[in-house]
Structure 1
Amino acid sequence: MDPAQCAPDRRRSLSGVARMTAEIAHVHLTIVVAAFDEARALPVLHPRIAAVMDVLAADGIVPRVLYVDDGSGDATWQVLQGIAAADARVALLRLSRNFGKEIALTAGLDQVASGAAMILDADGQDPPELIPQFVARWREGYDDVHGTRLSREGESWLKRSTAHVFYRVIQRLAKTPVPADTGDYRLLSERALAALRQLRERHRFMKGLFGWIGFNRVAVPYARERRIAGRTKFGFWRLWNFAIDGVTSFSTAPLRLATYVGVFTACGAFAFALYVIGKALMYGDRVAGWPTMMAVILFLGGVQLVALGVIGEYLGRLYEESKQRPLYLVSARHPAPGPGAGPLSGAD
């Protein structure tokens, strides 16, 4: 073949290699923000995220942000539409109702088709300015770069204490590693996201799921800030139920504890029965001891009800899983242009 004829083909081949090299050089990062009734906080938070995305873009990252409206009852969706209209790097996803933060995070992470995902709370307590540090550790080869709280500014002593106790308890009860004082503020690599998508359980304790998938993990210590606007949606009752979900999702220790309590109670009742029989044989039975009898009955009844409640918690989760309903439904979506975000499907 004439070398002059081969030259155009060679140039086209080299041009294709150059394009592929350029595409590989661009690393995609999607910042996922789940919001519920955060119309006041989002206009304050987004400029900070936009400034961080500018920094990332200058460093060779292709950033975008995906806001997930978890069925808000205020003007959150309207605020997000305004943000998306002003910033082409913004994608929106609106769920058909309030499914809860864990499901909203799942919905957002499901849409990240390529690159890594950075999870950020909409209340501004986790500073977006630290995202470049997370990206730096990700580029070192870590799949789960999570923020560990050194302090929790603006939170009551009771909330800090209960959170401290919860993380230590679940570390002891669960075989799955759950880092202490670590929330959802983290960066997940592409393969970590692919593994996470395989876990489709209904009662989702995301901190446990992040630990379950494993891979290379590293912590980024930081000081948690005050909420920038609005009120927290997690009261003590909701946090209590959240703790129960966490324990029952990753540990059968409560069932085992109920078994041990039942065994010890049965042994105690048997010993007490021997005592009553021996006392009646030696001193006779004068039909006394009504208070003691009532105390024993109430104690045993309480133990049985607690055990039944623990069993009911696990049976309820089996019941929810057996129905195989979608995790969430999407009401509206606004995809950002370009690669990096998924098709924003209507349901999952």
Structure 2
Amino acid sequence: MNLSVIVPCFNEEDAIPIFFDEVENIKEQLPVSVDYIFINDGSTDNTLTVLQQLSKENSHVHYCSFSRNFGKEAALYAGLLKAKGDLVTVMDVDLQDPPELLIEMYEKIQDKNIDCVATRRSTRTGEPKIRSFFARMFYKIINRIGHAEMIDGARDFRLMTRQMVDAILEVTEYNRFSKGIFSWVGFNTIYISYENRERVAGETSWSFWKLFSYSIDGLVNFSEAPLNFASVLGAVSFISSLVAFLFIIIRTLVFGDPTSGWPSLVAIILAVGGIQLLSIGIIGKYIAKIFLETKRRPNFIIREESNKKSS
């Protein structure tokens, strides 16, 4: 039995050797052959050089280097396409995903009723409070309005059967949100909890605004609720305007008191204009996703890869 380890990398020259040594240390406790598939996502440091040397020294290390930075979703997709193992795992190179959990994950996936053993963080120690707050809010919202249930604190780090990986690869959309896809394809998944860990080297490339944009993509990709919200908002605005007009007409007929002053008029115009812009923005987000899908551009472009075939 073979295990393929997919490792997306972006400017991780310092973390790669540490990660590789850590996984190699626990590899002997796994009764499977292990091959690595490192995806260099357009790094600007010496990540590619490190991967080239690592691949040269180890026959079970493979790498794939993009022509530019396409993002982690593209890197995950590329890794899944390249992986040929009977079991496939996705891991972050910064060791925030504890390699020793692979032993327990392998033991649990031996149950024929389990297709995936995933991980989730039980704590967010070391993470900025505002990021933790918005992360929790995202999971609450997506689980209320989305089509796929997502576990709070869930990581991409998971061990999957070949059948589940093949099902994920059948989802060929350009706008990918892997956490949602992992859940959407179904299959029996169990979770292992662990306490949050700090990076072993380097700095994260995920800023607050990148994470916020990523969460918006997740909401749009797995829910039509924002569109429904825009429709309801428009309906409420229209009904409110009818009530306001009726009130003005009745007041004029009964009291002979025509509406005066421009501040109220300006306030109404700004309120209606804001609702229209919000609704147009929501619709525009969906149209932009449709536009990207219809262009059928590749998720990534490979500039260089190791010649060895992954097992």
Which TM bucket (shorter chain)? over 0.9
In structure 2, the residue corresponding to 1:128 is in which secondary structure?
coil
Deviations 1:65-124 (A, max 9, x none): 111000111111111112222322211111111110011000001111231111001221
The answer on 1:81 being equivalent to 2:52 is yes
Aligned-residue offset at 1:285: 4.8
Q: Distance in 2 between matches of 1:145 and 1:274?
A: 60
2:20 matched residue in structure 1: 46
The answer on 1:136 being equivalent to 2:94 is no
The answer on 1:255 being equivalent to 2:255 is no
The answer on 1:34 being equivalent to 2:8 is yes
Q: Distance in 1 between matches of 2:206 and 2:249?
A: 54
1:273 matched residue in structure 2: 245
Deviations 1:102-149 (A, max 9, x none): 110000011112311110012211111111111111111221211011
Kindly indicate whether the alpha-carbon contact (under 8 Å) linking 1:154 and 1:227 is maintained by their aligned counterparts in 2: no
In structure 2, the residue corresponding to 1:55 is in which secondary structure?
coil
TM alignment of 1:111-150, pairs within 5 A:
111-141=82-112, 142-150=114-122
Kindly indicate whether the alpha-carbon contact (under 8 Å) linking 2:248 and 2:259 is maintained by their aligned counterparts in 1: no
Q: Which amino acid aligns with 2:256?
A: G
1:10 matched residue in structure 2: none
Pick the structure with greater CA Rg.
Answer: 1
Kindly indicate whether the alpha-carbon contact (under 8 Å) linking 2:4 and 2:84 is maintained by their aligned counterparts in 1: no
1:198 matched residue in structure 2: 170
The answer on 1:108 being equivalent to 2:82 is no
Q: Which amino acid aligns with 2:204?
A: T
% identical aligned pairs: 33
Aligned-residue offset at 1:54: 2.6
Kindly indicate whether the alpha-carbon contact (under 8 Å) linking 2:7 and 2:92 is maintained by their aligned counterparts in 1: yes
Q: Distance in 1 between matches of 2:251 and 2:67?
A: 68
1:90 matched residue in structure 2: 61
Distance 1:308 1:44, change over 3 A: same
The answer on 1:297 being equivalent to 2:233 is no
Kindly indicate whether the alpha-carbon contact (under 8 Å) linking 2:147 and 2:184 is maintained by their aligned counterparts in 1: no
Deviates more, 1:143-152 or 1:313-322: 143-152
Aligned-residue offset at 1:279: 1.8
Aligned-residue offset at 1:166: 0.9
Q: Which amino acid aligns with 2:11?
A: D
Q: Distance in 2 between matches of 1:205 and 1:223?
A: 24
TM alignment of 1:1-348, pairs within 5 A:
27-56=1-30, 60-141=31-112, 142-285=114-257, 288-336=260-308, 340=311
Deviations 1:235-284 (A, max 9, x none): 11111110110000000000001111111111111111111111222333
Aligned-residue offset at 1:175: 1.9
Q: Distance in 2 between matches of 1:122 and 1:159?
A: 21
Q: Which amino acid aligns with 2:22?
A: R
Aligned-residue offset at 1:205: 0.4
Q: Distance in 2 between matches of 1:321 and 1:190?
A: 27
Q: How large is the RMSD of aligned CA atoms in angstroms?
A: 1.4
Kindly indicate whether the alpha-carbon contact (under 8 Å) linking 2:248 and 2:258 is maintained by their aligned counterparts in 1: no
Q: Which amino acid aligns with 2:5?
A: I
Deviations 1:29-58 (A, max 9, x none): 0110000111121122111011122322xx
Q: Which amino acid aligns with 1:52?
A: I
Kindly indicate whether the alpha-carbon contact (under 8 Å) linking 1:29 and 1:117 is maintained by their aligned counterparts in 2: yes
Q: Distance in 1 between matches of 2:302 and 2:258?
A: 72
In structure 2, the residue corresponding to 1:151 is in which secondary structure?
coil
Aligned-residue offset at 1:226: 0.3
Kindly indicate whether the alpha-carbon contact (under 8 Å) linking 1:68 and 1:93 is maintained by their aligned counterparts in 2: yes
Q: Distance in 1 between matches of 2:93 and 2:71?
A: 14
Q: TM-score normalized by structure 2?
A: 0.96
Aligned-residue offset at 1:216: 1.3
Q: TM-score normalized by structure 1?
A: 0.86
Q: Distance in 1 between matches of 2:259 and 2:135?
A: 51
Kindly indicate whether the alpha-carbon contact (under 8 Å) linking 1:53 and 1:64 is maintained by their aligned counterparts in 2: no
Q: How many pairs are equivalent? A: 310
Q: Distance in 1 between matches of 2:165 and 2:26?
A: 22
Q: Distance in 2 between matches of 1:67 and 1:335?
A: 13
